[in-house]
Amino acid sequence: MGAAGFSGRADSGGPASPADAGSRNATRDIDHPGENSGAGPTNDCTPAAGSISALSIYDGSDAACSLMLAAPRNGSWFGVDDGTSPLSMSLSVRSQKGGHGAAGCFVHGSGAGATDWGGGIAFSLNGSREAPCPYDASAYRGVSIYLTGGALATQGPNYQSMPNTVRVNAVTTATSDAHGTCNAALGKCNDHFGVWCTLGLGWSRCDVPFENLSQRGWGAVEHFDKAQLLQIEILTVRDPDAPFATSWDISADDVAFYQ
């Protein structure tokens, strides 16, 4: 799998969490507050496919330090939260020493005051955040991401209280109501396939192996199809038993597919 590091943990199933059920239907990003429309994919969507010669997704080497992914991917990073925070959310890419490998740029997102499901950062692989198109990742076994930071009032595997934990989701058309085929009227959408990873003071690798992803268990049961990948999310999941709101400070760098 390449460099040693932390590998994501899948859920073992369990009862639905009150904080999860239907909670992802109101998602705010930093530029376009509001609710997802549930309208599904756009008619002018053009699918794309990855190749074995193009592994890098984001490496911070862009001289302009933009939020765009590395070519040939044409998506970009963005921030999301549940819309409950009274504080403005920030998302920035920093052009400074200190990313993974102590060089180049890295993506940083932070937020506080979330009282519904939480928030974090994400990127679309093909198209914009508002209208992502399917990306065929059949050529790859998974995605690796280097992460650092912290989070409070968050859950981890099996709905346990676990600070400094993020859920890394591989969003596909099957589980998405806003950009896919899931029926939002049933209230069971957005239980995406993913793993759990730990944040800390130093950079650590989080692996998202396509053959070992799981849903959390509260949504519609679906089949994971890596040929229908839309976005990768790095999210805090609010712990409903926490006596204070959820907050997060997440940095990401050197994101790549692996074989």
**What domains can be seen in the chain, in order of their start residue?**
23-32+54-258 (2.60.120.430)
Could you tell me the pLDDT band of residue 148, with boundaries at 50, 70 and 90? very high
Task: State the average pLDDT for the chain.
Answer: 83
pLDDT at 11: 63
pLDDT at 100: 86
Summarize pLDDT for 157-197 with one digit per residue, the tens: 999 999 999 999 999 999 999 999 999 999 999 999 999 99
Mean pLDDT over residues 191-213, rounded?
Answer: 97
Q: What percent of the chain has pLDDT over 70?
A: 78
The C-alpha atoms of residue 38 and residue 120 are separated, in whole angstroms, by: 20
pLDDT at 255: 96
Q: What does the angle CA 149 – CA 132 – CA 164 come to, to the nearest 5 degrees?
A: 15
Highest mean pLDDT among 79-93, 106-120, 224-238: 224-238
pLDDT at 18: 36
Mean pLDDT over residues 233-239, rounded?
Answer: 97
Could you tell me the pLDDT band of residue 104, with boundaries at 50, 70 and 90? confident
Q: Per mean pLDDT, which range of 27-31, 56-60, 200-204 is the poorest?
A: 27-31
**239 contacts 38 by C-beta, under 8 angstroms:** no
pLDDT at 89: 60
Q: CB atoms < 10 A from the CB of 4, how many? A: 8
Buried b (16+ CB within 10 A) or exposed e, 215-240: bbbbbbebebbbebbbbbbbbbbbbb
Locate 48 and state its tokens. Answer: 């794309």
Q: Let me know if 155 is exposed, middle or buried by CB neighbors in 10 A (0-12, 13-18, 19+).
A: buried
Phi, psi dihedrals of residue 77, rounded to the nearest 5°: -80, 155
Q: CB atoms < 10 A from the CB of 54, how many? A: 15
Half-sphere exposure of 189 (CA within 13 A, CB side): 26
Mean pLDDT over residues 204-225, rounded?
Answer: 96
pLDDT at 28: 43
Q: CB atoms < 10 A from the CB of 92, how many? A: 16
Higher pLDDT, 45 or 123: 123
Mean pLDDT over residues 131-143, rounded?
Answer: 96
Higher pLDDT, 65 or 21: 65
The C-alpha atoms of residue 192 and residue 235 are separated, in whole angstroms, by: 12
Closest by alpha carbon to 122, among 177, 60, 58, 63? 58
pLDDT value at 38 more than 90: no
The C-alpha atoms of residue 144 and residue 110 are separated, in whole angstroms, by: 21
pLDDT at 173: 96
pLDDT at 23: 37
pLDDT value at 123 more than 60: yes
Mean pLDDT over residues 11-16, rounded?
Answer: 45
Higher pLDDT, 82 or 29: 82
